[in-house]
Amino acid sequence: MPSPTSPLPSPGTLRRNQNATSLIYDKNIYRNNKNVSLSSLQFLIMEIVSQYMKNTNNILKIERKLNNLGYSIGLKYLNLISTKNNFINNITSNGKSNTSHRITKLIDFLHFISNDIWLSLFNKSSNGLEKSSDNEFQFMIIDNNPIISSFLSPTQEYNSLSIESFTAGIIEGILDTAYFQCEVSAHRVPIVNYPNKTIYLINLKQ
Amino acid sequence: MQIYSLYLISRSGSLLYQRDIDSVGSPITEQNSNDYLVIASNLHGMHAIASKFKPNLSTKEENNFNKSGINMNSNKTGLRCIKTDTFNIFLHQTVTGLKIILITSSDTIESEISSLQNEIYRLYSDYVMKSPFYNLEMPIRIKWFDEVIINTTKKYNIRVNINTNNTNKISTSAK
């Protein structure tokens, strides 16, 4: 008979702990309610940017840091989105998908980024995917109103700073794990009604 | 209704933002920057004094609380409006102490003003508070904030003009 101060947890607590951890696996991986507060995300990005600005005044360095931050997200995010997407397409097969596939063609993959990944990251599709006319290894994803930087107005001092380098980093990470080596940079191209129109320039390594 | 001018004053009474809005028949002339500070601190002081004014009542009546627990005779909102023949000044203090002051023409609709003030407060918390380049209590110099402020106030100027045109039409048809 175990003493009251036994170091071993009683079977009851074990079961309870097990329940708590297994709950997350019991949930459907494709949850309908996956909303995150946009404000808290924007405040987080704002705070990251202002922390970087404390350390350096060099715009290129800040953009590089934001890009690196997004890159490590992109590396991991492709796994999650592939799992989810294959699951959605094969709900009847208990999640063990038999038609799951990996996109290996570049154009298909870019379409996948500009639609599916944009949809899961920002809850909308991007506003366009274009191929550069003078360089066959250059592609552009266009977003008229990028969500995470939609209120982060540039100032005169930091006019060329593009906070969307963060998103560019995510794209770069995703493309890199999919074996398309590239560099992605974000450029703000303000037009009428869309002061924050951003072009993500994808430079593939030949 | 025309909106002539907008002031934002921080809770400590310093002028954060001042903008004259391009509107029809505006009597506002450009002042030097020092005068704007004087106007802002005067309004701030007047608001503080006005919030101390209240009717002199017996203690029994003074404890006359309404359902929400707010003393009916208190004057928590302070100075809300100054009306003259040629212009009106509307002051609105948000819960965080930011003052939104609008100088408008004298033919204003108060519900429109309060919805505009709420909209300006929303724009302030989106475009100013979320800017990584802005330090608290400093003057606001944010390009997109300028643009959205101009757009929203213009929208109000135009919208209410259409309303007044409609009422004119109705009155002429009635004749």
First to last CA, chain A: 71
**Domain locations along chain B:** 3-174
Cα(A116)–Cα(A126) distance, integer angstroms: 10
Q: Are B4 and B110 in contact (CB under 8 A)?
A: no
pLDDT category, A195, cuts 50, 70, 90? confident
Overall fold of domain B3-174: Beta-Lactamase (3.30.450)
Q: Which of A39, A53, A195 sits opposite B132 (nearest CB)?
A: A53
Q: Does the pLDDT at position A182 exceed 70?
A: yes
pLDDT category, B132, cuts 50, 70, 90? confident
The C-alpha of B131 sits at a distance from chain A's nearest C-alpha, in angstroms, of 5
Mean pLDDT of B43-56: 82
Alpha carbon distances (Å) from A34 to A37, A93, A122, A192, B164: 10, 23, 11, 33, 46
Q: Tokens standing for A144? A: 């008229």
* Cβ pair B132:A42 closer than 8 A: no
Q: Does the pLDDT at position B3 exceed 80?
A: yes
Highest-pLDDT range among A23-27, A37-41, A67-71, B170-174: A67-71
Sequence-ordered list of residues with C-beta below 8 angstroms from that of B87, at least 6 positions apart, any chain: B4, B27, B103, B104, B105, B106
* Cβ pair A195:B144 closer than 8 A: yes
Q: Looking at B21-173, which runs of residues are DSSP E strands? A: 81-83, 87-93, 99-105
| Structural domains of chain A sorted by starting position, each given as residue range(s) with its CATH number in brackets | 38-92+103-204 (3.30.1380.20)
Beta bridge partners, A199, equal A142, A187
Q: Give me the pLDDT at residue B173, please.
A: 44
Per the model's pLDDT, the better-predicted residue between A16 and A57 turns out to be A57
Q: Within an 8 Å CB–CB cutoff, is residue B127 touching chain A?
A: yes
Kind and range of the H or E element at B66? none
Highest-pLDDT range among A141-145, B129-133, B156-160: A141-145
Q: Which of A43, A53, A153 sits opposite B144 (nearest CB)?
A: A153
Q: Does the pLDDT at position A91 exceed 60?
A: no
